[in-house]
Amino acid sequence: MTETVPATTDDVAFPVARGCPFAEPAEYSQVREQTPISKVRLQGGTEAWWVSQYAEGRAILADRRFSSDRRRDNFPIPGADKQLRERFRRQAPSLIGMDGAEHAAERRALIGEFTVKRLAALQPRIQQIVDGFIDDLLATRQHPVDLVRTLSLPVPSLVICELLGVPYADHDFFQSRTALLISRRTPEPERARAVDELRGYLGELITRKESEPGDDLFSRQIARRREQGALDHPGLVSMAFLLLAAGHETTANMISLGVIGLLNHPEQLAALRADPRRTPMAVEELLRYFTIVETATSRVATEDVEIGGVTIPADDGVIVSGLSANWDPSVFAAPADLDIERGARHHIAFGYGPHQCLGQNLARLELQIVFDTLFRRVPTLRLAVPVDEIKLKSDAPIYGAYELPVTW
C-alpha cells in the first residue's frame, strides 16, 4: 500500500469549465498523467478525491463501499451551498441517491419499463415524433433555425412525456424549471423555487393519476406500490422528478452536441451516411467523446478504501470524472480523435455499476433515430455560425448547447 497522497491542485477548481467542445480541459490530462486519484479543490471551495483514470473510475463505481446518498455531509456537489445541502436532506431521495437494498428494490420496480423489448415497441412512435419535428423544420422559411428549440429538446421531451404520462402541453413549464435547477448559475433561492414548483406540479399529477390511472409509467408505478401496500407519495414524486428531468435534458444536449460533432468532422459524417449500420457505433463514440454528464458519478466512501495507490478515508467525497475516464488514452487511443469506428461501447458516459443509467437504451434509440433521420432528410444541413460562436453550457453539470443555429 502506498500512503503518498498526491498534491492538491490548489490553483484550479474542479470540474474545470470546458473551453472547447472538441477537447477536455488541459488540467484533466495533466492530472491523469500523474496519478489515477488525487485530492482537488471543487468549485465552491470544498475538497474531494478526483478519479481521472478509467480503471479506477470503473472500480469505484462498482464498489458498494461508496455511497450515492446526497444527504451525507461530504457528498461532493461542486458549487453547492448550505441551503442546497439542507434541501437534499429534507427531500425524499430518488433512485440516484439511494444505496444497497433500498436502491436495488426501487431499481427493480422501474427496470421493466426500459427493457430492450419495451423500447423496441416504442421505436415506431419515436420515428414518427422525429419525422414530425423534421417536417416542421423543413417547412420553416426563416433561416437560420435554432435546432435546440426545434428538434433537440422537443424530441426527448415528447418521448419522455408520453412514456411517463406527463401532458406535453406543459413542456414550457417543466423545461424552464429543469433548466433553472440544473444550471450552476441559478442563485439558490431561485433554484429552490424551481424545485418546489416542479415537485408541486408532479405531486398534483401523481394525485390525479391515483384516482384516474392511464396507460403510462407513473400509473403503473402507483398500482405497483398499492399492491405492495404503501403508496409513498413523496417517494413517487422524487421518482417522477428524476425521470422527467433526466429523461429530456440529457438526451437533448447529446443530440445538439452530436450534430455539432458530426458537422465538424465531415469525413465521419460521410462514413455514417454511406452506411447507416454504423449509427449505433457512432452514437457510442459521440457519447464517449462529449461525456455530457461528467460528475453525476460522485460518491462518499463509507469506510477506508485503498485504491490507485492511495487510501480514501471513510466519509471523504469522491468524483469519478466520466470525461477524464473516457479520454484515458490507455483505454481509448488518441481520445481527441472523433472516430465512429473505434468501438467505444465500454465508455462510462452512462456511468457504471449499480447506478448505471436506467434510461440508456432509450437515449441510444432516440439518438440513433435522430441522427439517421436528420442527416438523411436534411443532407445539406450545416451550422449557421462558426463553432466557437455557439453558446455552450461550459460550466454546467450537463454539458450541451443553449442554442444551435443551423441552415441547409
Binding site for ligand HEM (CB under 6 A): 68, 95-96, 107, 242-243, 246-247, 250-251, 254, 292-293, 296-297, 322, 349-351, 355, 357-359, 362-363
- Looking at the Cβ atoms of 363 and 401, the one nearer to ligand HEM is 363
Distance of CA 131 to the CA centre of its chain: 24
From residue 245, alpha-carbon distances to 4, 90, 149, 156, 387 in Å are 41, 19, 17, 11, 27
Q: Sheet of 382-383: strands edge to edge?
A: 145-146, 405-407, 382-383
Question: CA nearest 306: which of 28, 1, 56?
Answer: 1
Nearer to ligand HEM, 289 or 375 (CB): 289
Nearer to ligand HEM, 320 or 383 (CB): 320
CB of 318 to ligand HEM, least distance (A): 11
Contact 279, 269 (CB under 8 A): no
Q: Is 35 helix (H, G, I), strand (E, B) or coil?
A: coil
Nearer to ligand HEM (CB atom), residue 152 or residue 373: 152
CB of 143: closest distance to ligand HEM in angstroms? Answer: 28
Nearer to ligand HEM, 31 or 357 (CB): 357
The answer to whether the peptide bond before residue 280 is cis (omega within 30 degrees of 0) is no
* Peptide bond between residue 213 and the one before it cis (omega within 30 degrees of 0): no
β-strand pairing of 47-51 with 317-320:
parallel
Q: Which is nearer to ligand HEM, 345 or 382 (CB)?
A: 345
Minimum distance of ligand HEM from residue 350's CB (angstroms):
5
Shortest Å, Cβ 308 to ligand HEM: 18
Radius of gyration of the chain (CA): 21
* Shortest CB 263 distance to ligand HEM, Å: 19
In the complex, least distance from residue 52 CB atom to ligand HEM, rounded to whole angstroms? 16
Other C-beta atoms within 10 Å of 55: how many? 15
